[in-house]
Amino acid sequence: MCTEPPSNISNVADESVERPDLVERARPLLPPGCQVRQVFICQTAPYFWLFVVNYLTFLTIFWIQFRCVAVIDDGIHVLESSKFSGGAKPQSVVGVLPRQTKLGPVSGVWGEIELLGKRHWVHKRFHHLIDAADQDAGYARPAHG
């Protein structure tokens, strides 16, 4: 369970997160006092081609869900975001996974992960965060070629 850190101690994990804007937008949906270890955005799509059509044309936007994923010390929070924010404006909690949940490995331009029984696609700019989350949970670092 997260606890509020003393006011004279900085929140080191939050300060090292690459997207502090996402942390601040996600914070109201997370337990008070949590340190965000990693945060990234992703999109759902049952088939890769549906995701690609949406990425190129937005014609399938109503079949796709946009998510922000916040990894904290005691869980992985999957947050629903508005469609036109591309996942960057979380609005509600979809679910919480145990912290020991393995997210990767991911590869390619759009890596596939499974969250809450659905396929999610994560851009390669966030892959190192998934690797870091898995490492923090005790999994070996994947070999990337």
Domain 12-136 class? mainly beta
- Rounded CA gap, 18 and 38, in Å? 8
**The token pair that represents 10 in the structure block:** 């900085």
Q: Where along the chain do its domains lie?
A: 12-136
Q: What percent of the chain has pLDDT over 90?
A: 62
pLDDT digits (tens, 9 = 90+) for 41-97: 999 877 777 767 766 776 666 778 899 999 999 999 999 998 878 889 999 999 999
Beta strands, E only, the chain:
36-44, 66-72, 75-81, 90-97, 110-115, 118-123
